[in-house]
């Protein structure tokens, strides 16, 4: 390239703010060269020219990747920003929406110094994520980055309402050309660009959302602001050094990422050239029916979908609109059969399953599905009191309902269906068997229709050959498998098993801090150290059980609170700092009152609410509370709580309880705690 061409390329890059490196081929179906060609089309390679001419920054020993940035991606912030943040995100992902206040704060506090560049990474189990991405990219095509970010904000503000009519309404509100919008959504105009983003994300290891690359440095998840701040401050200092050394600000990103890897390296000990063992998608399982299960659709339907589900599972509720679409689309050709699989860490799932079966017993399918719909509609409100309210609304005999909930009347049926799920390897929820073929998870409609259409064709062939419609299902599964079936793997060793649960007798030595929030008798025989996260939904669900423990065991038990905020819960650490500041100022009484306010209002765990709830308590110095949150005043004690678990050799999630040192993990029902507490009491005596 001659000098004039080089200068021209740099000027174009400066104006457009685009700097890319070359992509190499990865594990995806699209080669790196093909993706690079797609991405360079928007600016005729000007960005590539600028990147090629940018001097490589000195090696800094930091993990950093060459993530291309071109005019084909929506961006905000100046083209010559010292820090470029590339975000791989999904419009239906709740964690992506939770990180928005953090990115907004970044753009405010680092105005002029940070640029954010968008990459699409719609996950396959979010059925509306791809259409939303297509609409956002159409907004970008019609109105540039301004229209894109306006659409971005509108979609996230209405994240639970992003089906096709909603998307078209948002496009109308933003003044987009609706003919262009409908053409884009109907013809998947932007699919290639979105798939290119996904392929790039896969190569870079950004398989979950949100994923960030800050001047090429990876940061995964909806992290709190301090996690971003640490990296951004380091990168600004580094970038300022490059500028002082003569690198134009518009070339800082290209300089820092030039020569860096364009894909994440596989682990060193990966099995060579062998496909991993996967569930066989074509296997047919012998999922037999008694004829006494709740169902929707005729008994002689050509396709039977057996649905294993859990009324408290969020993924089970998300797939329900898809099941409704299937019923509407296929009519009498499809029957849906319900089987309960309440998971042990969902404390309200089994009572809900019992109530659903009681509704079925009292009023058949009509009452069952009415109850089913009510409970999914109010999935976060499945307490005993609410279950009885729903039963009254459906018109059930309340004496029989209470008897069923208080007894084991439907226990055998639930145990039976759980056993069937385990037999076929469907341990998670939701899980579906479509004429015996297994489909796992809250899959999009297209995943269901692909299997249903195949099975319909097979069923119609059977009917044409003389099989009565009401015998198609039995005929189809007659020779089905009775254990999990897999494909791939060859002679490769099986995937390592998950770490085994700790032995029942294992006692972890975790010292109790002298100054930790606690309730109960200080001299109690049993000390329960509760490691919890204020943003964890399972931690909030177990709180009624903790209260029941205190009621039933009284002075024999003491609860000690330990903070264990998880890194992908951005509000958990600020909440922990706020709670510990309340404890410092007001002792146990104020702490537990504040703790209750947080868990009672968990979906609203932002900064404004943390302050509002502290003010509600009265007697809290708000200036000191704000300083504690801003300065992470209690971070050392929070980190010490987490380190205590590691030092003891335990591996936990949240919530986790150490009952005189013995571990009980998860939001377990009261019976699980009772067994452990009674044992501890017996040993103490």
What's the whole-number average pLDDT of the chain?
86
Q: How far apart are the first and last CA of the chain?
A: 85
Q: What does DSSP assign to residue 69?
A: B
Distance CA 386, CA 401 (A): 12
Average pLDDT over residues 547-564: 95
Neighbours of 422 (CB within 10 A): 12
The order of strands in the sheet holding 656-659 is: 518-520, 557-563, 526-532, 656-659, 662-665
Domains (range + CATH), the chain: 3-257 (3.40.30.10), 295-486 (3.40.30.10), 518-684 (3.40.30.10)
Distance CA 236, CA 233 (A): 5
User: pLDDT tier at 49 (50, 70, 90 boundaries)?
Assistant: very low
Q: What does DSSP assign to residue 481?
A: B
Tokens standing for 2?
Answer: 């001659």
pLDDT in tens, 434-486: 999 999 888 889 889 999 999 999 999 999 999 999 999 999 999 999 888 87
Distance CA 643, CA 649 (A): 10
Asked if residue 532 has pLDDT above 90, the reply is: yes
Residues 6 or more apart in contact with residue 184 via CB below 8 angstroms: 134, 135, 137, 138, 141, 190
Q: Exposed (0-12), middle (13-18) or buried (19+): which is 419, by Cβ within 10 Å?
A: exposed
- Kindly state the percentage of the chain with pLDDT values over 90: 66
State the pTM of this model: 0.41
Asked if residue 2 has pLDDT above 50, the reply is: no
Q: Contact, 33 vs 23, CB < 8 A?
A: yes
Buried b (16+ CB within 10 A) or exposed e, 430-463: bbbbbbbbbbbbbbbbebbbebbeebbeebeebe
Neighbours of 613 (CB within 10 A): 23
Distance CA 456, CA 428 (A): 26
Q: Which of 667, 672, 671 is nearest to 348 (CA)?
A: 667
Average pLDDT over residues 386-398: 96
Q: What does DSSP assign to residue 43?
A: G
The rounded Cα 592 to chain-centroid distance in angstroms is: 29
User: pLDDT tier at 328 (50, 70, 90 boundaries)?
Assistant: very high
Q: Which residues share a beta bridge with 87? A: 118, 212
Q: Which of 470, 459, 478, 434 is nearest to 288 (CA)?
A: 478
In this structure, of 14-23, 501-510, 632-641, the range with the lowest mean pLDDT score is 14-23
Residue holding tokens 């419609």?
469
Tokens standing for 219?
Answer: 């940061």
Tokens standing for 242?
Answer: 């490059």
Q: Which of 87, 94, 75 is nearest to 145 (CA)?
A: 75
Average pLDDT over residues 374-389: 95
Average pLDDT over residues 543-547: 91
Residue holding tokens 């993924």?
315
- On the CB side of 299, how many CA atoms lie within 13 Å of its CA? 10
Instruction: Compute the chain's Rg from CA coordinates.
Output: 28
User: pLDDT tier at 506 (50, 70, 90 boundaries)?
Assistant: confident
pLDDT in tens, 589-648: 999 999 999 988 888 888 988 998 898 888 999 999 999 998 889 999 999 999 999 888
In this structure, of 32-41, 292-301, 344-353, the range with the lowest mean pLDDT score is 32-41
Q: Which of 413, 461, 463, 454 is nearest to 435 (CA)?
A: 454
For strands 437-440 and 518-520, give the pairing.
unpaired
The rounded Cα 586 to chain-centroid distance in angstroms is: 35
Distance CA 581, CA 654 (A): 22
pLDDT in tens, 244-298: 999 999 999 999 998 889 888 755 444 444 445 567 888 999 999 999 999 999 9
Q: Which of 328, 285, 314, 323 is nearest to 541 (CA)?
A: 314
pLDDT in tens, 109-120: 999 999 999 999
Average pLDDT over residues 670-684: 91
Neighbours of 332 (CB within 10 A): 12
Asked if residue 662 has pLDDT above 50, the reply is: yes
Q: Which residues share a beta bridge with 218? A: 213
Average pLDDT over residues 190-205: 91
pLDDT in tens, 403-413: 999 998 999 99
Q: Which of 104, 157, 95, 103 is nearest to 126 (CA)?
A: 95
Helix and strand numbers, DSSP H then E, in the chain: 25, 17
Q: Contact, 376 vs 320, CB < 8 A?
A: yes
For strands 526-532 and 656-659, give the pairing.
antiparallel
């Amino acid at each position: 390239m001659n000098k004039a061409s080089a200068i021209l390329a740099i000027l174009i890059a400066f104006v457009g703010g685009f700097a890319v490196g070359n992509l190499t081929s990865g594990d995806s179906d699209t080669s790196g060269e093909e993706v690079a060609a797609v991405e360079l089309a928007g600016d005729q390679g000007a960005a590539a020219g600028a990147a090629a001419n940018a001097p490589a920054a000195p090696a800094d020993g930091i993990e950093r990747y060459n993530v291309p940035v071109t005019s084909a991606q929506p961006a905000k912030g100046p083209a010559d920003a010292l820090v470029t943040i590339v975000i791989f995100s999904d419009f239906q992902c709740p964690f992506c929406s939770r990180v928005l206040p953090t990115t907004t704060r970044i753009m405010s506090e680092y105005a002029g110094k940070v640029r954010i560049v968008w990459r699409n990474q719609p996950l396959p189990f979010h059925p509306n994520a791809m259409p939303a991405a297509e609409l956002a990219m159409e907004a970008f095509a019609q109105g540039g980055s301004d229209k894109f970010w306006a659409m971005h904000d509108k979609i996230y503000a209405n994240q639970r309402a992003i089906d096709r009519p909603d998307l078209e309404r948002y496009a109308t509100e933003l003044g987009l050309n609706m003919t262009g919008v409908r053409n884009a959504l109907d013809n998947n105009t932007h699919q290639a660009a979105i798939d290119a983003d996904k392929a790039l994300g896969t190569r870079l290891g950004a398989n979950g959302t949100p994923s960030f690359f800050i001047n090429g440095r990876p940061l995964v998840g909806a992290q709190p602001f301090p996690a971003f701040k640490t990296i951004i401050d380091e990168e600004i200092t580094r970038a300022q050094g490059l500028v002082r050394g003569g690198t134009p600000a518009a070339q800082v990103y290209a300089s820092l990422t030039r020569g860096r890897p364009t894909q994440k390296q596989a682990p060193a000990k990966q099995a060579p050239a062998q496909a991993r063992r996967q569930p066989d998608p074509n296997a047919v399982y012998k999922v037999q029916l008694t004829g006494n299960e709740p169902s929707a659709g005729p008994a002689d339907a050509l396709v039977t979908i057996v649905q294993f589900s859990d009324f408290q599972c969020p993924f089970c509720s998300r797939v329900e609109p898809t099941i409704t679409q299937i019923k509407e689309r296929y009519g009498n050709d499809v029957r849906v059969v319900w089987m309960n699989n309440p998971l042990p860490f969902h404390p309200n799932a089994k009572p809900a399953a019992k109530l659903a079966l009681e509704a079925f017993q009292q009023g058949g399918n009509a009452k069952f599905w009415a109850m089913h719909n009510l409970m999914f509609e109010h999935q976060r409100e499945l307490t005993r009191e609410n279950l009885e309210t729903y039963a009254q609304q459906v018109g059930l005999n309340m004496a029989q309902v209470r008897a069923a909930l208080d007894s084991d009347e439907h226990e055998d049926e639930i145990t039976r269906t759980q056993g069937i799920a385990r037999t076929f390897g469907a341990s998670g929820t939701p899980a579906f068997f479509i004429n015996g073929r297994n489909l796992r998870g809250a899959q999009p409609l297209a995943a269901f229709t692909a299997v249903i259409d195949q099975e319909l064709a097979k069923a119609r062939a059977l009917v044409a050959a003389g099989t009565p419609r009401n015998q198609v299902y039995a005929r189809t599964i007659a020779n089905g498998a009775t254990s999990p079936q897999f494909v791939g793997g060859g002679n490769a060793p099986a995937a390592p098993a998950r770490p085994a649960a700790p032995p029942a007798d294992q006692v972890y030595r975790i010292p109790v801090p002298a100054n930790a929030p606690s309730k109960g008798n200080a001299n109690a025989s049993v000390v329960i150290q509760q490691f919890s996260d204020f943003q964890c939904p399972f931690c909030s669900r177990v709180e009624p059980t903790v209260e029941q423990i205190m009621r039933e065991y009284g002075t024999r038990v003491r609860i000690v609170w330990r903070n264990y905020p998880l890194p992908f819960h951005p509000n958990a650490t600020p909440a922990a700092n706020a709670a510990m500041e309340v404890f410092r100022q007001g002792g146990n009484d104020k702490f537990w009152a504040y703790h209750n306010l947080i868990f009672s209002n968990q979906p609203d765990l932002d900064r404004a609410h943390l302050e509002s709830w502290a003010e509600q308590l009265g007697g809290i110095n708000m200036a000191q509370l704000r300083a504690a949150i801003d300065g992470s005043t209690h971070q050392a004690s929070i980190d010490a709580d987490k380190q205590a678990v590691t030092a003891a050799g335990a591996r936990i999630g949240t919530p986790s309880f150490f009952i005189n040192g013995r571990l009980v993990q998860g939001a377990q029902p009261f019976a699980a705690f009772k067994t452990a507490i009674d044992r501890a009491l017996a040993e103490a005596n």
